[in-house]
Amino acid sequence: MTNKPVAQHYVPQSYLRGFAKNKKDEFYLNVYDKENKTSFSSNVSNIGMENYFYSKDIAQLIETIFSYYEGWFNQALQKLKDNENLSKLNYIDKRIFSDFIAIQYLRTNETRMIIKESTERTFDIIGGHNLPGFVKGSVTLSEDSLKRFHLETILKSFQEISDIILNEMTWKLSINYTDTPFWTSDSPCAIYNELEPEPFRGNLGLKCKGFQMHFPLSTKLLLILMNQDIKIRDLVGAKSLKGRNSMINVLVNSPYSNLRVMDLLPEKEFVNEKRVMFENNLQVISSTRFIFSKTNDFKLADKYLGEYPHYKDKNRQRMIIN
């Protein structure tokens, strides 16, 4: 290994170029910092990365492994960009997409923060129940331990997650021809569930009923991965339908209530401005600190963070552990 620091990206440069402006073969993005609500322009090579983010001992090896998946993904993504049709992807293309998305889902600083929080809070619960005089917060993961744990999680878990994405989720493509581009972020795999969680249980696991992952592919394309179990009758608890009279409410009490929602949705949809705002707000929520856009208009992020300021704090609580 050379003495030169190895910049390890947790969001690949090749992916970020799909949201950037090309200036003399250099790619630049507008970056919004949630912490202080300011923005700046940056080359994609300088964002979504840290020196030795995953490892110092095997830094170059890890970068090489991830670069293989990124290269294959770029080819499959270009095929989708050319056709704007998921049916044009063959099994190998979809496997490549699944592998890349699984790795991207796991590799970010957001996942590392969740690992740290869940591990340390579990220690707090165990210690508090079993060790007299235990001080909450006294057990913490060192930076090296956290990096090692995170890297092991990526390498051990991504294939299982990829299999779920490929075999157990429905894929939908959103196409944006509005004047507002899709945003991405330092944690671009935004997770969401239209259904309210049950008491004392989360609903953002990949196999939870109603789970969705929204993954921007470019300023124009966004892939939605959806759990297949949700049926029309389940939508009685949907967030967006609360207190509203709609055709869905009629269907919930009809003979069609057992139909899967996935089977009623088109494989491809053209989104309006309001829907783009919804997707961009998901990036505000999912990001650890930074949002990336082709344009320098972040008024939507300013407004959302004004209403929900806890999303500005990168150390915010992310999990409920009982």
User: Which of residues 251 and 298 earns the better pLDDT score?
Assistant: 298
Collapsed DSSP state (helix, strand, coil) of residue 218: coil
Tell me the residue type at 165: I
For residues 51-78, give the mean pLDDT: 90
For residues 299-318, give the mean pLDDT: 93
Percent of the chain with pLDDT over 90: 62
pLDDT at residue 297 in the model: 96
Which of 79, 8, 108, 90 is CA-nearest to residue 49?
8
For residues 87-104, give the mean pLDDT: 97
For residues 18-26, give the mean pLDDT: 92
Secondary structure (DSSP) of 248-291 = HHHHHTSTTTTSBGGGGS-SEEEE-HHHHHHHHHHHHHH-SSEE
Return the residue matching tokens 């990168």: 314
Which of 213, 191, 221 is CA-nearest to residue 78?
221
Tell me the residue type at 260: R
What is the pTM (predicted TM-score) of this model?
0.90
d(CA 165, CA 303): 33
For residues 69-92, give the mean pLDDT: 96
Q: Which residues contact 91 (CB under 8 A, 6 or more apart)?
A: none
Instruction: Give the number of residues written for the chain.
Output: 322
User: Which of residues 265 and 300 earns the better pLDDT score?
Assistant: 300
Collapsed DSSP state (helix, strand, coil) of residue 306: helix
d(CA 166, CA 147): 28
- Residue-wise pLDDT for 120-167, tens only, equals 878 777 777 777 777 777 778 888 999 999 999 999 999 999 999 999
- Residue-wise pLDDT for 276-300, tens only, equals 999 999 999 999 999 999 999 999 9
Give yes or no for residue 87 having a pLDDT over 70. yes
Query: What would the two tokens of residue 151 be?
Result: 């890297």
